Structure 1
Amino acid sequence: MPEAPPLLRLLAWLSPAFPVGSFSYSHGLESAVNDGLIGNRDELEDWLSGLLIAGSLWNDAVLSAHALRAAGKPAELARLAELAEALAGSAERHLETTSQGRAFLEAAHTWNGAGIDGLPDNCAYAVAFGAAAGNADIPADEAIAGLLQAAISNLVQAAIRLSVIGQSDAIRVVAKLENEIAATAHRAVQASLDDLGSATLLSEIAAMRHEVMHTRLFRS
């Protein structure tokens, strides 16, 4: 039988059914909604756009792109994993990235030769995914765009569960951000680690405020 193309593996790893537990996390979105910062489609779209351009999703894209190129180099991957942990701005952000990374590594071992041995157990999700994508020969632009698309889709689903938008508006948000996702992925593939950084202060504050919410649906 012919060998399955890398695209199939990419789609499997980024499927909502892949057991990384992403549905449990809102990336601080729940706190932002609770504080009245996000209450409609336009505000959600602006929030997500900021994360892509100059926030946590940008950092994840850069880290993942570097991990993809460092696939098969344990020492370099370990340094990237340590850097990714350090960039988590709050306890819940740290939990979010390491728990998903750990779950991804466990599930991805199903594929022989996924090339993820040697990564720390609590490896950040972006680094774990990038390393696996590199060993699967998934093109960098496609891998990083897929990672960002999955993240945006997950946050849009969180917004639906928080009653910010309905399904129709959710589709509009995903469609509107499509070009921005592609552009961010392309930029991240060419970026150096010196390009890491976040300017989305409200998102970071929202993530920290979520830690002290008494009633909540999500873990972050």
Structure 2
Amino acid sequence: MAWLSPVFPTGGFAYSAGLEQAVADDLVSDEASLQSWLETLLTHGSFWNEAVLIAATHRQEDDVESLSALATSLAPTAERHRETLDQGAAFLDAANAWGSADLPRETPLPVALGAVCQSASIPLIDTLTASLQTLISNQLQAAIRLSLIGQTGAARLLAALEPMVLATAARAETSTLNDLGGSAFLADMVSARHETLEPRLFLS
């Protein structure tokens, strides 16, 4: 939980994973549409793929170099590519205070997280649950900053999404790399559009 806390540089202060553009395009306009957006990311989008990559790395399903190449190739846009690499490097720099695994700074975040947690003997299901919870929390923090919802609404959504977070973590625990994939095309499209959004609060 310390490694996934807002103290770490992987918090949601800089990245919205395309949510900022979705709000600008009025695709996400209230609490209900935000919940639907996040549910899609969890079950059919980038959050699911990140969970599969964490699990594969934690189980040492392949070497870190190959998994890193796979993770970066799955980034749908330049911004998401930069996001996963920058957050991976920042995570590894901060985790060094605990004597984290010796990994290249170019390691994408889900691979870095899976490798470090495996090295520290943190159970996979705990790693997955905490990671998915953090992804959702970061999105809710972004939604607050975008004035889409308030703190009460964010807390309400966090509670509503908790069963899906737990279910997705359990599903990812038994996944393999063959389970990678998604159909959240609109999320990928707004991520690409965000590259030219001005003005903007977030880097993605």
When normalised by structure 1's length, the TM-score is 0.90
**Structure 1 partner of 2:56:** 66
Larger Rg: 1
**Residues 153-204 of structure 1, C-alpha deviations (whole Å, 9 max, x = no match):** 0000100110111110100111001010011011111111011001001100
SS in 1 for 2:10: coil
Give 1:111 deviation, angstroms: 1.0
* Structure 2 residue 115 is matched with structure 1 residue 128: no
Give 1:69 deviation, angstroms: 1.4
* Aligned counterpart for 2:137 among listed residues 123, 134, 153: 153
Give 1:66 deviation, angstroms: 1.0
* Structure 2 residue 93 is matched with structure 1 residue 106: yes
- Is residue 30–residue 218 contact of structure 1 (8 Å, CA) maintained in 2? yes
Name the CA distance, whole Å, in 2 between partners of 1:22 and 1:172. Answer: 19
**Structure 1 partner of 2:4:** 14
**Structure 1 partner of 2:182:** 198
Identical residues among aligned pairs (%): 48
Name the CA distance, whole Å, in 2 between partners of 1:79 and 1:99. Answer: 18
Name the CA distance, whole Å, in 2 between partners of 1:55 and 1:26. Answer: 14
* Structure 2 residue 38 is matched with structure 1 residue 48: yes
Give aligned pairs, total.
204
Give 1:21 deviation, angstroms: 5.0
- Is residue 24–residue 219 contact of structure 1 (8 Å, CA) maintained in 2? yes
Gaps of 5+ in 2: none
- Is residue 31–residue 207 contact of structure 1 (8 Å, CA) maintained in 2? yes
Name the CA distance, whole Å, in 2 between partners of 1:122 and 1:91. Answer: 15
* Structure 2 residue 50 is matched with structure 1 residue 90: no
* Structure 2 residue 204 is matched with structure 1 residue 214: no
Name the CA distance, whole Å, in 2 between partners of 1:22 and 1:36. Answer: 21
* Aligned counterpart for 1:35 among listed residues 17, 20, 25: 25
Runs of 4+, deviation exceeding 3 Å? none
Q: Summarize the Cα distance change of 1:153–1:21 in structure 2 as closer, same or farther, 3 Å threshold.
A: closer
CA RMSD after TM alignment: 1.2
Gaps of 5+ in 1: 1-10
Name the CA distance, whole Å, in 1 between partners of 2:79 and 2:9. Answer: 19
Give 1:87 deviation, angstroms: 0.2
* Aligned counterpart for 1:141 among listed residues 91, 105, 125: 125
